[in-house]
Structure 1
Amino acid sequence: MTDKLDQIHLLSNLARGLVSIYDAGLSGSQIRSPYPASLERGMHQLAAHQISIGVPPIAGLQDVFNLARQPLGTWGLEFDETLIGTGSDALIVRDKPTDICLEWASEEDAEALFQSEIMREVFDLCIEQNIPESYIAFRKLLIQRQVLTALERQRLKRQPELKPLRDILMRAYQPAPRSAVEDGNYWLCAHCGGLLLRDRDGFACENMRCAGSGRGEALSADNDVLWLEGGLRRYISRPGLPEITLQEELKSLGLNVTLWPAFDAYDLHFAVNDKVWAVDVKDWSNPYLLGSKLAKKVIPAPQNWVWDRAFYVFPDDRASEQRDYLRAFKSRWQAPSRTIALMMSDFIDLVKREIKKGRQNA
């Protein structure tokens, strides 16, 4: 396989198909042909490439699952390094889509933010009515409350900021899968607040980065427990967690931080020593792919939200997973003017130094 575009289409189709099958399994649906269209396309592409290089082609869905559980670098298809990084990541682990799988599932869509029609509706309605406070409140709710009871949702939709979005809020959450019930309770992840799901080893968070976090709150299965629909869990709630973490850390330093200014022109806006900083938090497994996507992208500076310095910031645990994460990102990234990339702890240290410098010069 030599054509990079073919590789992109293949990985994207397979990933989206695997995510669709995973979602169907959560809802109790049986896996049967015809499979999701994206998976069918991916399987045909994969078989054609295997034949072209003299590798025995896949014979069916089980072969796809077997491959998806193996590191991409072992598939024998000579994937481009910018697409798979070190090649050590698989698309499925413990029968769940991995971060790299979810990144590929969104690759051929316009933006991960608009993966869900629900967020498109929220975005359009809030812009039309010029209610940024509702946009911020809604998005923050999805990040901080992946799981609700039906009664809690009824109360939330009466809050002033959320009231304009009450009909959309009703559709953002769906009944939690009954397969996640144990001894009459649903259990939440102690780290992210997501739902613990049953798997071959017991119960675990859908977000594999929460491994070992253990059980948090218990919710009685008699209380009509709801959880976010799949696109919102994966592309709004999960990557939004480090955004909220960074905002809270900066607020603890005494800074006035605005989330998602100008309806998400970027993630965080604040001033340090009379200079305005703009931050986009990026939480991707593959730094090569992320660097390629952001190669020439300039963080916007819309009216009333212009900035003096801009930053791409990555959660520290990405560097724990891949020691040279920042170097790998920069190898594919062309830094725009006044923009730098840092791991989160290094960025916070920079903010602290700037605050200290401002106090010394006061």
Structure 2
Amino acid sequence: MMTKEIIEKDLIDLRKAMALIIYGVYEKERIKKENKYPYSPRLKHGMDMFFRLALKYDNSFDLRTAYETAFIRNYAMKPVSEWFENWNAIILSKIKENSYYYLDALVEDTGSNTYHISEATEDYLNLLESDLIAGLDQKIIYEKLIKLDQEDYVKVRKFIIENPIADLKDLRKFKMGKSDLVVEIINSAYEGFDYGHYVCPRCGWTIKEINGIYKCQNQDCTKSNFSFEKLELIEEYNDKLRLKRGVMKYIADPGKLELEIFNYCKEKKVDCFLWPDMDSFDILLEFKNGKKWAVDAKAVKQPEALRESIANDYIFPEVVKNHDKSFYVIPDSYYDERKDYLTVINRTLNILYGENYSERVECIRLKDLKSLIRKEI
């Protein structure tokens, strides 16, 4: 008998199982790069929990396929939503409330019975800010950034966002006269690259053909509608460095939305400040009428993932209390892909903030924010 209490307990176990599975495939990839046998106890534990629940809720589940190779083929290489196609409708309706349900395939087939983790896996891990990925490039850089004073923090972060590929002379010029920590951050953020890379017209990082497919730091770049024949080959690659992939993907690329908002405010003669109070939010707007707005730009594709992030954000509620208006701002393209995006987030905000503050915080599109700024000035 499926009581409400049993279903709630199983949903908690499923969430744990999914986290262990996602961490596990990442762990296998990391171990594989160290030329060790890629065994992950987390993946094994997560699969065992998942198989127990599948046996309970999926009438089509075949226990003979409850081993790792079959799991990779039958589950990890498919969008997560397809894992639950035959699950009981009652628990499925609850599963759909979780961000993991909307992930693409966790791993991608590279041929010869090998695979590598997908961007969906990387993005989910980054959003969770798990200790398992604490060693990734962007985590190392961010931990150093927050040790800077406010002025240097803004200068360094802005430089990184604006320079996905940098000339050696420009890097030397920027580091000149800066503190040892600033120099250390820049040195840690950039790396060399070899011949055959082009400038990505979408994000400005490097893009290269691998097995007939042009690869950049983000699958959105590959999917962008531009002519590969017109790509600019980086000839003088020995005189340039690029951001490390993790820094580009999780700091510089999302930061483009932040700078677009900042530059628009400057254009409209609105006083604005980047990452106030060491990034408690992204942009502070101060209008001539005395009103203050707080803006947090969110380049998170799935609203369910952003919903979970917002629910665990203990800083922004204080920001909301201290400003006339506060906004989570998403790229227009995310709304175009998911017309219910704003509804999903604003419903959550209404629950989290209640009657006292719900009218002062909202999730909107970039073009909505620009329209509101024009009206306010």
Aligned ranges for residues 302-321 of structure 1 at < 5 Å?
A: 306-321=322-337
Residue matched to 1:299: 316
Aligned ranges for residues 323-362 of structure 1 at < 5 Å?
A: 323-333=339-349, 334=351, 336=353, 337=357, 338-355=360-377
Task: Note the alpha carbon deviations across 1:244-303, whole angstroms, 9 max, x for none.
Answer: 12212222222122110010010000112320110111121221232233237562657x
Aligned ranges for residues 6-155 of structure 1 at < 5 Å?
A: 6-19=13-26, 29=33, 33-35=37-39, 39=43, 41-50=45-54, 54-56=61-63, 57=65, 59-60=67-68, 63-64=71-72, 67-76=75-84, 78=92, 80-84=95-99, 87=102, 89-92=104-107, 100-109=120-129, 116-123=139-146, 125-126=147-148, 131-155=149-173
- Partner amino acid for 1:133? E
Deviation of the 1:41 alpha carbon:
4.8
Residue matched to 1:206: 217
1:247 matched to 2:262? The reply is: yes
User: 1:149 and 1:62 mapped to 2: Cα distance?
Assistant: 47
1:275 matched to 2:295? The reply is: no
Query: Which is helix-richer, 1 or 2?
Result: 2
RMSD: 3.6
Go from structure 1 to structure 2 and tell me whether the alpha carbon gap of 1:147 and 1:258 turns closer, same or farther (over 3 Å shift): same
User: 1:330 and 1:72 mapped to 2: Cα distance?
Assistant: 25
User: 1:174 and 1:67 mapped to 2: Cα distance?
Assistant: 35
Task: Note the alpha carbon deviations across 1:7-66, whole angstroms, 9 max, x for none.
Answer: 3333334434545666789xxx48762246655554554455445554444543574266
Secondary structure at the counterpart of residue 118 of structure 1: helix
User: 1:296 and 1:222 mapped to 2: Cα distance?
Assistant: 42
TM-score, normalised via structure 2 length: 0.75
Secondary structure at the counterpart of residue 171 of structure 2: helix
Residue matched to 1:262: 277
Residue matched to 2:174: 156
TM-score, normalised via structure 1 length: 0.77
Residue matched to 2:4: none
- Show structure 2 runs of 5+ residues with no match: 1-6, 111-115
Task: Note the alpha carbon deviations across 1:50-91, whole angstroms, 9 max, x for none.
Answer: 455544445435742663332211113647112248747333
Residue matched to 2:301: 285
User: Does the Cα contact within 8 Å between 2:99 and 2:308 map onto a contact in 1?
Assistant: no
Instruction: Indicate the structure whose relative CO is greater, using CA pairs within 8 Å and at least 6 residues apart.
Output: 1
User: 1:37 and 1:134 mapped to 2: Cα distance?
Assistant: 42
What is the aligned length? 338
Q: How many percent identity over aligned positions?
A: 22
User: 2:177 and 2:24 mapped to 1: Cα distance?
Assistant: 38
Residue matched to 1:360: none
Secondary structure at the counterpart of residue 116 of structure 1: helix
Go from structure 1 to structure 2 and tell me whether the alpha carbon gap of 1:40 and 1:88 turns closer, same or farther (over 3 Å shift): closer
Larger Rg: 2
User: 2:50 and 2:35 mapped to 1: Cα distance?
Assistant: 20
